[in-house]
Structure 1
Amino acid sequence: MITSYNFDFCHVEIHHDYILSVMNEGVIVSPEFITQMSFMANKHYKDKFFVYITHRVNSYSVNPISYFEGNKIKNMVGFAVVSEDPKQQSLSKIERTFFDKELQYFDTLQAALQWKDEVIKKANKFK
C-alpha cells in the first residue's frame, strides 16, 4: 500500500495500480466522491492505468450520475465490485449500464485483484 485516506463517506487505500475503497454505512455516493477520486487518480496514477475496487461490506446507495462522472477519469480502466452478498451481483449488472469501462463483480478480493492485472495488461497493449 502506498497511502490511505479517510473521508467522511469512506476509507480509501492507494496501491501501486489500484484504489481500494470501503464506503461507510448508509452513505449516498454522489458525483462529489468522483471529484475526490479524480484528485487521487491525478496525484497517484498520473501517467499510468489503474482499477477502482469497491469492497462492499456496508450498505450504501450510489447516485447513477456518479458513473457518468467516473467515465471521465481516462486512466481508470476498470471497476470491480467485491461483495459476499449475492444481491450485489445483480446490482453490478445494473451499474454496468451506466459505466463505459469494464465493470465486474467478484465475491473475493483476490479474484478482483487477478482480474485487475488482466485489465491493466490489456489496456497497456493499446497504449
Structure 2
Amino acid sequence: MGIIKYINNQDAECFIFDDFIINQIKEGVVVEPSHNEELNNIIKEHFSGKDMVYISNRVKSYSVNPLIYTETESIPNLIAIAMIPKTDVMRKNAEYERNFYDKPYEIFDSLTEAIIWVQQVLEKEEPGPAIQKK
C-alpha cells in the first residue's frame, strides 16, 4: 500500500494510494461543489474502473458547503467517505455533513482506524466467487 502520487494544489494536499485518496484541505478554504470537478478528474485518472474510498484528514480549519455531497455521491466508483476530524467542532461539522451523503460515511479518531475501515469496505464490495452453471 504505497503512495502512488502526491498533489499539492492551491486548496489541498492529496495523497493517492492504490485504493483510496487522503485529502487534506488547506486552512481557510471554502469547499464548494466546484471542487468536485477536480476530485472527479483525479478519480478518473487513477481509479478508472476500480472502486475507491475518499479519506478527509481534517487537520486544518476550513468550511464545507454540504451541497457538495450531492455531486460527490454521483461519482460511480467512489463507494465511501471517511472523516478524521482534529477537533470537537470539526467532528460536529462532519456529523452534520453525514446527513447529505447516502453512501457509507464514517468518522474516525485516527488515520490508521480510517484505513482499516477502508479495507473492510472494499472487501465487502468485491464480487463473490463466480457461480458455475452445469
TM-score (norm 1): 0.94
For 2:92 and 2:46, the matched residues in 1 are separated by 32
For 1:63 and 1:123, the matched residues in 2 are separated by 29
Structure 2 runs not aligned, ≥5 long = 129-134
State the shift of 1:35 in Å: 0.4
User: What SS is found at the alignment partner of 2:82?
Assistant: strand
- In the alignment, which residue of structure 2 is the partner of 1:22? 24
Write out aligned runs for 1:110-121 (5 A). 110-121=112-123
For 1:104 and 1:88, the matched residues in 2 are separated by 13
User: What SS is found at the alignment partner of 1:31?
Assistant: coil
For 1:31 and 1:87, the matched residues in 2 are separated by 22
Q: Which has the larger radius of gyration?
A: 2
How many residues are aligned here?
Answer: 126
For 1:83 and 1:93, the matched residues in 2 are separated by 10
- In the alignment, which residue of structure 2 is the partner of 1:109? 111
State the shift of 1:37 in Å: 0.6
State the shift of 1:54 in Å: 0.7
State the shift of 1:45 in Å: 0.5
RMSD of equivalent CA atoms: 1.2
**Which of 78, 86, 89 in structure 1 is aligned with 2:88?**
86
- The AA in structure 2 aligned to 1:45 is F
- The AA in structure 2 aligned to 1:22 is Q
- In the alignment, which residue of structure 2 is the partner of 1:96? 98
For 1:37 and 1:12, the matched residues in 2 are separated by 10
Structure 1 runs not aligned, ≥5 long = none
**Which of 109, 122, 125 in structure 2 is aligned with 1:123?**
125
For 2:127 and 2:61, the matched residues in 1 are separated by 37
Query: CA offsets, 1:6-62, max 9 Å, x none?
Result: 111001011000000111100000112110010011110001111100110100001
Query: CA offsets, 1:51-81, max 9 Å, x none?
Result: 1001101000011121111001110111011
User: What SS is found at the alignment partner of 2:41?
Assistant: helix
- In the alignment, which residue of structure 2 is the partner of 1:52? 54
- In the alignment, which residue of structure 1 is the partner of 2:66? 64
User: What SS is found at the alignment partner of 1:81?
Assistant: strand
For 1:71 and 1:27, the matched residues in 2 are separated by 21
